[in-house]
Copies of this chain bind each other. A is one copy, B any other.
Amino acid sequence: MGALAHKPKLYEQVAERLEDAINAGTLRAGDRLPSVRQLSLREQVSISTVLQAYLHLESVGLIETRPQSGHYVRRRERPRLAEPQVSRPATSATPVTVSALVSRVYQSMRDPNLVQMGGAWPSTELLPTRRLYRELNALTRERGDAGMLYDVPPGCPELRRQLARRSLDWGAALSPEDFIITVGAAEAIHLCLLAVARQGDTIAIESPAYYGTLQAIESLGLRALEIPCSPRHGMELDALQAALERRRVAAVLVVPSYSNPVGSCMPTANRQRLVAMLEERGVPLIEDDLYGDLHFDERRPRTCKSFDTTGNVMLCGSFSKTLAPGFRVGYVAPGRLRERVELLKFSHTVASPTLLPLAIARFLEEGGYDRHLRALRRRLSEQVARMAEGVAEHFPEGTRVARPAGGSLLWVELPSTVDSLVLHGRALDAGVSIAPGPIFSPRPDSYRNFIRMSCGQPWTPRIEGAMATVGRLVRTLM
């Protein structure tokens, strides 16, 4: 796991210049982009760099390819909305009490009668259900009574081997022995928090942050310290550094790739700096890489773990957002706290269910995962782009929307007078589930005019209608 310096790649620079031209209106919807050869000459870069830049712009929904014709700026009904600004949470740590609110909201996220833009999970239409079921059935035929036995920690060697193989893709060369199998990333995060913190300790987190993580922090009697975040680049490291100088922090917990709810992606150089900063101070980094495989761009972001030379980074992940939410298969590579986390896993749930990690291991072994991921990413990036367009079309002026480069979530800032808790209630009455902003902060008054919309469901007239409904409700609340 060598640590390499990082600059924006050439293709990223090329793409950024085109994006600026689109945002400034120099290139407009329907405009044809320069041919690959022209741009290669103009920018003095290789053909393949231009192709990569175009692929990237296509994946984030800014341009489209027309066969036999070339690349065009995508048509949008309205000009692209501005992004939300960098968050400015309170600078003091706070005990967390989101649970009651989350519970109310969560009930609505699972109501099958509602149009679901609430929960952060992919539609089952996007999942390889039949193949996973086939693996499961094969296991019951081939493995005798193995499924009856405890798969004691660290758990499923077959899956740990596959994870080690995949970790090359994350920029980290981990070994099967580095991993412990868990019941989803949620258990992994929980075990990490138990391993590093005692009641009353402070955990530095992103602002806004995933409500489940806030609940985990609450349930262990910990305090949350919210760090400002940019909607594009995630946690602001200068702010984090200042916070670390002011107070003792037991751990920093980040979702560097396509954070929930914002969808921000921390640049590689920031990841490297974050790892070094925390290593130096002996503060463990809990890296929630739950969405890392859902990059719209060609390349998967490197994990923070890939810069870890001392075992200070605890990498958590799962297959809940990419393969099988209902299987509850996650993992943690806890670095130097491996032995402690393994013991906690045992006392916590004894073992993960035996057959389900095995079924996923077989699926990975047979090589279908990358193909599946490519299709899933394409669908999600399309759905995110369509939802963003829907917001631009139906929501009132002054609405801002984040521009995620991965994942399946859209973080929307409404005009400042709109109360998203009221909006949430009205939307439910109208048959639509969304996630109101305040559940993403330990302070119930934060993000009152924000909502998170899930793009996990395929775009349909029903979703479009729901979007129009929410837009109309927003107007009535202004």
The interface of chain A, by Cβ under 8 A from chain B, is: 99, 102-103, 106, 110, 119, 121, 124, 127, 129, 132-133, 136-137, 140, 144-152, 183-184, 186-187, 190, 194, 198-200, 212, 215-216, 218-221, 320, 324-328, 339, 342-344, 346-356
Residues of B within 8 A of A146 (CB): 326
Q: Closest 8 interchain pairs by CB?
A: A215-B347, A199-B199, A326-B354, A133-B140, A124-B145, A183-B349, A129-B145, A328-B353
Inter-chain contact A326/B212, CB cutoff 8 Å: no
Chain B residue at smallest Cβ distance from A133: B140
State whether A349 and B347 are in contact (beta carbons under 8 Å apart), knowing that A136-B140, A147-B326, A199-B198 are contacts in the complex: no
Known: A103-B343, A110-B152, A199-B199. A353 touches B356 (CB 8 A): yes
Contacts of A356 in B (CB 8 A): 353, 355-356
A215 and B148 within 8 A (CB): no
Chain B contacts of A183 at CB under 8 A? 183, 349, 352-353
User: Are B184 and A350 in contact, with the CB atoms below 8 A?
Assistant: yes
A353-B339 CB under 8 A given contacts A147-B129, A147-B133, A198-B221: no
Bound-state CA distance A120–B352 (Å) is 17
Q: Are A150 and B110 in contact (CB under 8 A)?
A: yes
Oligomeric state, in copies? 2
Q: Quick one: which of B99, B140, B344 contacts A137, CB cutoff 8 A?
A: B140
Q: Known: A133-B140, A140-B136, A343-B103. Is A148-B190 also a contact (CB below 8 A)?
A: no
Are A328 and B352 within 8 A (Cβ)?
yes
A351 to B212, CA, bound (A): 12
Complex CA gap A339/B102 in Å reads 12
Given the contacts A140-B133, A183-B183, A339-B103, A219 and B348 also touching, CB distance less than 8 Å: yes
Give Cα distance in the complex from A325 to B110, angstroms.
Answer: 29
Task: Report the minimal beta-carbon distance from A343 to chain B, rounded to whole angstroms.
Answer: 5
Residues of B within 8 A of A348 (CB): 186-187, 190, 216, 219
